[in-house]
Amino acid sequence: MSRTASADVLVVGAGLAGLHTATLLARRGHDVLLADRRRRLDGAIRTTGIFVRKTLDDFALPPECLGPPIRRVVLYPPGLRRPVTLDSDRDEYRVGDMGPLYLAAAREAADAGVRLALGTRYAGRAGGASLLTGPDGATRVRARFVVGADGARSAVARDLGLDRNTALLVGAEEVSAVGPGEGPPTFHCVLDPSLAPGYLAWVVDDGRHAHVGVAGYASRYPDGMRAALRRFAASAPGLRGAARSGEVERRGGPIPVGGLLRRISCPDGLLVGDAAGAVSPLTAGGLDPCLRLSRHAADVLDDALRTSRPEGLRHHDGAALRRQFRGRLLLRGGLAQVRTPAMATAAFALLRTPPGRAAARRVLFGDRSFPDPHPDPAVA
Ligand SMILES: Cc1cc2nc3c(=O)[nH]c(=O)nc-3n(C[C@H](O)[C@H](O)[C@H](O)COP(=O)(O)OP(=O)(O)OC[C@H]3O[C@@H](n4cnc5c(N)ncnc54)[C@H](O)[C@@H]3O)c2cc1C
């Protein structure tokens, strides 16, 4: 016999999207249950944690959980010869210390009144209730709305009959502590389809941590993703082998790059974050989109709860926002076509020209972010 529970909103998944949505709703007085299958939120991390300037400007992230600002990006062709260095006169990126950052977000959620159930898996829906299995067994949760914040392969999306991600990259990285380097904090990106087919290999060294990673289309890694990461780590630019010390943390996971999904809500609930495909198809950045879309979701849910009008959830409309992704989807299509090191080398020649550098600066240092359903952050 399973137990029963109730809530105004059940949020499945306590990544950044779920934590943010749950906290905003609880602050408005709603009863929110947030369930995650992970037992600890500072384990099994799936992101490098690079936050872009616009996110840092618009959202209050705890400064003690952010690494030093990064202003330099170095782009490399296959073979690593004659890289292109781009320096910004502004702080462009900061890498989150993601374990402490998730824990701080969970404390904020609990302070707002969110009931957090860890080690608790969403197992499906039956008779209008959601089934959770946790340390104390099975529970049937009756919630007015369900939020799928359960990542790229969302089971909530499946059960609500909403759209699901089909275009996915997979990425993996190793993180280790480093001391301050001689040069400035730097983000190194390598365009080489034999290491990162359809995306990039990277080293981010901010003087506190070094992240070395690869991401690409799963079926196109010549000898598998792990082998690609091993090969890259053996000769990666900017990786100060001797300076890396202590434990190596391994991270990885899928990255949706098909653009925001069209159907991301129905009268029973909605999707946020990776579950909604809210990731830039070009840069594969998902942290800014998941915060912005969560803010919008919380507004829509708040309104529907207050007015008892579930049809209001239709304002959480992926099709409308998706139109603003056209350019980025086209560029993703272009990057996906770079299938051989020779093609990457040829494409890289364009990057060395003044218009190529200007375009790279626009992508890497531009002010664009995920299309904000809230142009005015004060609304939130
Ligand atoms: C290797 C890698 C590096 C990346 N680096 C960056 C970066 O530097 N900058 C950037 O902007 N973006 C980056 N991204 C993308 C970014 O990390 C994601 O878009 C973002 O973290 C998505 O947050 P989320 O809350 O939607 O999903 P997640 O963080 O994936 O959270 C989903 C949560 O749902 C839980 N869950 C799943 N299924 C269930 C279930 N059945 N029951 C209960 N709980 C469940 C999971 O345990 C998880 O905690 C990266 C992605 C990868 C894979």
- CB distance 106 to 267 below 8 Å: no
Report the domain count for the chain. Answer: 1
- Tell me if 14 CB under 6 Å of ligand 1: yes
Would residue 114 count as lying in a domain?
yes
Three-state DSSP at 321 gives helix
Residue 127 region, left (φ>0) first, then alpha (ψ -120 to 50), else beta?
left
Per-residue pLDDT of the chain (380 residues; tens, 9 = 90+): 679 999 999 999 999 999 999 999 999 999 999 999 999 999 999 999 999 999 999 999 999 999 999 999 999 999 999 999 999 999 999 999 999 999 999 999 999 999 999 999 999 999 999 999 999 999 999 999 999 999 999 999 999 999 999 999 999 999 999 988 888 999 999 999 999 999 999 999 999 999 999 999 999 999 999 999 999 999 999 987 655 667 899 999 999 999 999 999 999 999 999 999 999 988 899 999 999 999 999 999 999 999 999 999 999 999 988 888 888 888 888 888 899 999 999 989 999 999 999 999 998 998 776 777 654 434 43
Query: Looking at ligand 1, which residue's alpha carbon is closest to its atom 9?
Result: 50
- CB distance 174 to 229 below 8 Å: yes
372: domain CATH number? 3.50.50.60
169 CA: nearest ligand 1 atom: 53
Q: Which of 16, 24, 47 to mutate to test the pocket of ligand 1 (most atoms within 8 A of CB)?
A: 47
Would residue 256 count as lying in a domain?
yes
CA of 158 to the centre of ligand 1 (A): 17
CA of 39 to the centre of ligand 1 (A): 15
Would residue 339 count as lying in a domain?
no
Residue 243: per-residue pLDDT:
57
Would residue 341 count as lying in a domain?
no
Sign of CA dihedral 159, 161, 164, 166: positive
Query: Looking at ligand 1, which residue's alpha carbon is closest to its atom 35?
Result: 13
Q: Which of 255, 272, 293 to mutate to test the pocket of ligand 1 (most atoms within 8 A of CB)?
A: 255
Distance CA 56, CA 70 (A): 12
Would residue 354 count as lying in a domain?
no
- Tell me if 260 CB under 6 Å of ligand 1: no
Would residue 146 count as lying in a domain?
yes
Would residue 360 count as lying in a domain?
no
Would residue 337 count as lying in a domain?
no
Domain of residue 277, residue span? 3-331+365-379
Please give the C-alpha separations between residue 374 and each of 160, 202, 215, 379, in angstroms, as whole numbers: 25, 32, 31, 7
Q: Which of 46, 225, 280 to mutate to test the pocket of ligand 1 (most atoms within 8 A of CB)?
A: 46
